[in-house]
Amino acid sequence: MKGNLTALLITSGIILVVIAIGFLAGRDKASRSSVEEWSVGGRRFGGLLVWLLVGADLYTAYTFLGLTSTAYTGGSLAFFAIPYSVLAFAISYFFLPKLWNVANNFKLTTLADYARERFDSKLLSALIAIVGVLMLIPYICLQLNGIQDTLRAAGTGYINVQVVVIISFLLVALYTFFSGIKGPTYTAIIKDILVWVIMLFMVVSLPIIHFGSWGSMMDTLSTKAPQLLTIPTDGPKGIPWFISAALVSSLALFMWAHAATGVFTAKNANTLRKNAIFLPLYNIVLILVIFLGFIAFLVLPKGTDPRFALLTLIQTSYGGVMQGLAFATIALASLIPCSIMAVGASNLFANNIYRDLINPSVQGKRLTMITRSMVFVVIGLALLFGLLFPTALVTLQLLGVSGMVQIFPAIVISLFWKKQTREATIIGLIVGVATTFTVYSTGHSLGIYEGFWGLSANVLALVIFNPLFKQAKKFTSNSVWRFLFSPAKAVDNQVNKGA
């Protein structure tokens, strides 16, 4: 289907305005004066900014396009995204304030930093950083796919889509290099407003356009496609898969580098508690987006590529202006998370691979420049990988969730288990990643999400091997351990100070 020139102009105009705002956000030189300023904004963001940043961070173009596609092909399986995110926010209420408190006190900017200090282990830090970077690059590629598909829908016949995508991501890399986390934070305000307004408008208007009302749409759905409204009871993706996928995804959500980056920008621990309460509001949009997939199934021609279900539905339902606003919303949901992900991945590479393993004596200013410059490497790799292997991205991202959850014991369990040892944690992480990839490559998951088997093996190895090493560890020699567990420095008192 040929693009719409009006839609293309509106989409391009909004993207350019947002990129300009991204550059303006970094006009203060202080925003790039240190790794802490560039990557986590000096930990000065209040509740609303953190809510917008984490929302922009977690609800991406892949969320909207992917959920619609899943609903279009798999029906109610797409609803697993609702319990997983609610569960993730509920769990985060109990551990993110404690994690933030440690990070603030010891000036840590990544989860790998925390693991290094908690366990006195640069090896563990590097392993977590490697897992984080490797799993994040396919996720960035998916954002590239999101804007590429959007521009193809809007601009086919008018532009060279691949060239425009490359230019767009290079501009994002430039403003991220220049502004750091402040760029995507302030542009997230525009993105989130568009998400709420445009997605809600679409959800209200599309059933009226195609069926006359929501009630009529539901009647048609239950009559013509009742299979979309139920979860399969057997097969490779039945109820056990649904439950295990929701659980694993919830535990993995804040293990992603970009999610941790958003968390560490908070000005105090209480901000994170409030966010855990109010972030589930985004699920209102998610629930409704899933129904857009059902509408697409009913109204689009059979054989429509599920990947383009939402975009094709927009094209066939609206004129140029509304198309432009909708496409701009999806494009921004690609570009802004890409920027945050690039910050997180660059920070992991520079701090926990380059500094910890290659050049421990690197000075602050040089480390800051290396961290900022890695943005171009990360986005460049994502562009290259996305253009060369576009069909592998969704699979790799889903596998990425199973990979990222393997660092949960090293980060979250260690906040509460005072006798957890470095050696057992490293063994557990390696066993968990190996198990995940083995289950995935053999295809013998028994209808359970692959990451569940990996995490089970990870925790089992941790429990079995921990007693073998705990006698050799002098826990009280570690300042982070004392901060977490010493009665003289109870964490609750520190949290109250931060709040």
Paired residues of 45 in beta bridges: 266
Class of residue 259 by CB neighbours under 10 A (exposed 0-12, middle 13-18, buried 19+): buried
Question: In the chain, where are the structural domains located?
Answer: 5-106+137-377
Residues 6 or more apart from 131 whose CB is under 8 A from it? 403, 404, 406, 407, 429, 433
- The CB density around residue 16, as the number of other CB atoms within 10 Å, is 12
**Sign of the torsion formed by the C-alpha atoms of 140, 144, 150 and 154:** positive
pLDDT in tens, 202-214: 989 999 999 999 9
pLDDT over threshold 70, residue 163: yes
Q: In whole angstroms, how far apart are CA 226 and each of 70, 83, 238, 289, 476?
A: 16, 22, 16, 18, 60
Full 3-state SS string of 80-125: HHHHHHHHHHHHHHHHHHHHHHHHHHHCCCCHHHHHHHHHCCHHHH
Residue 195 in this model has a pLDDT that exceeds 70: yes
* Mean pLDDT (the chain, rounded): 87
User: Quick one: DSSP state of residue 441?
Assistant: H
pLDDT for the residue 489: 53
DSSP conformational letter for 301 = P
Mean pLDDT of 53-72: 81
Predicted confidence at residue 94, as pLDDT, reads 94
Query: What's the pLDDT at 395?
Result: 61
Within its chain, how far is the Cα of 131 from the centroid? Answer: 14
Q: How confident is the model at residue 494 (pLDDT cuts 50, 70, 90)?
A: very low
Task: Indicate if the pLDDT at residue 60 is higher than 50.
Answer: yes
Mean pLDDT computed over 17-24: 90
Please give the structure tokens belonging to residue 457. 């093996």
Structure tokens at 109: 């900017």
Q: How far apart are CA 353 and CA 360, in angstroms?
A: 10
Q: How far apart are CA 383 and CA 142, in angstroms?
A: 10
DSSP result, 214-277: HHHHHHHHHHH-GGGGS--SSSTTSHHHHHHHHHHHHHHGGGSHHHHHHHHTBSSHHHHHHHHH
The one-letter amino acid code at 23 reads F
Give the tokens for residue 340: 């945050």
- What whole-number distance in Å separates Cα of residue 140 and Cα of residue 484? 34
460, pLDDT greater than 70: yes
Over residues 243-251, mean pLDDT: 93
Q: Which is more confidently placed, 394 or 62? A: 62
Task: Report yes or no: 110 and 89 within 8 Å, Cβ to Cβ.
Answer: no
Q: Are 149 and 343 in contact (CB under 8 A)?
A: no
Burial level of 302, CB count in 10 A (0-12/13-18/19+)?
A: exposed
pLDDT in the model for residue 463:
95
> Distance between CA 340 and CA 175 in Å, rounded?
11
Residue 329 Cα to chain centre, angstroms: 17
C-alpha to C-alpha distance for 476 and 482, rounded to whole angstroms: 6
SS3 for 45? strand
Q: Does position 490 have pLDDT exceeding 50, yes or no? A: no
**Token duo for residue 188:** 């997230």
| CATH of the domain spanning 5-106+137-377, picked from 2.30.30.100, 1.10.760.10, 2.10.260.10, 1.20.1730.10 | 1.20.1730.10
What percentage of the chain reaches a pLDDT higher than 70? 94
Average pLDDT over residues 273-289: 87
345-393 pLDDT, tens digit each: 999 999 899 998 898 888 888 999 999 999 999 888 888 877 776 665 5
Q: Which two tokens stand for residue 368?
A: 């800051």
Nearest to 427 by CA among 451, 401, 449, 406: 406
If you average pLDDT over residues 83-97, what whole number do you get? 93
Distance of CA 23 to the CA centre of its chain: 23
Q: How confident is the model at residue 185 (pLDDT cuts 50, 70, 90)?
A: confident
Q: How far apart are CA 191 and CA 58, in angstroms?
A: 12
> Given a cut of 90, is residue 430 above it in pLDDT?
yes
Of 46-55, 84-93, 296-305, 400-409, give the lowest mean pLDDT range: 46-55
Q: What is the mean pLDDT of residues 43-65?
A: 81
Residue 406 has a pLDDT of: 96
Band (495; pLDDT cuts 50, 70, 90): very low
Q: Are 317 and 346 in contact (CB under 8 A)?
A: no
- Specify the pLDDT at position 496: 47
Residue 204, exposed/middle/buried by CB under 10 A (0-12, 13-18, 19+)? Answer: exposed
Give the Cα separation of 37 and 331 in Å (integer).
Answer: 27
